[in-house]
Amino acid sequence: MRQREAVIDVYKLAFGLFLLISPWLFAFAYDPARINAIATGTPLTLVSGLAIIVFAEWEEWISLLIGFWVLASPWLLGFPHSSGMHIAVFVGVAVIYLSILELWLIHNPEWPPPMKS
């Protein structure tokens, strides 16, 4: 059962690394966007990496909170319509979706139900 949740953690780790290096990949011109990407990509990467090694449900909740912050940060920090905003929205939505999916799988271990023959 735990293997399917660990795969989701690998995806969240990849999104965290992508967020962490995105200021250099896309040459963010707006300093708050750059600082925010590094400041949120680092804990997302660390927490997701830790979750791959040691299972803990709290990691999903922290990832969910980070995802909501990343999604809301362009409006809260006033990013202009730039690559920083688009990346933050994309990564935020993806991390929120993956965190909710993983929480749902943790609390519904019998899903999917066995097929009837």
Please state the pTM of the whole predicted model: 0.89
Residue 101 lies in a domain: yes
Per-residue pLDDT of the chain (117 residues; tens, 9 = 90+): 466 678 899 999 999 999 999 999 998 888 899 999 999 999 999 999 998 888 778 889 999 999 999 999 999 998 878 889 999 999 999 999 999 999 998 888 776 667 776
Question: Could you list the residue range(s) of the whole structural domain that residue 38 is in?
Answer: 2-107
The total of structural domains in the chain comes to: 1
Task: Report the C-alpha gap between 91 and 107 in whole angstroms.
Answer: 24
Residue-wise DSSP of the chain: -HHHHHHHHHHHHHHHHHHHHHHHHTT--SHHHHHHHHHHHHHHHHHHHHHHHS--HHHHHHHHHHHHHHHHHHHHTT--SSHHHHHHHHHHHHHHHHHHHHHHHHH-TTPSPPPP-
CATH number at residue 74: 1.20.120
Residue 17 lies in a domain: yes
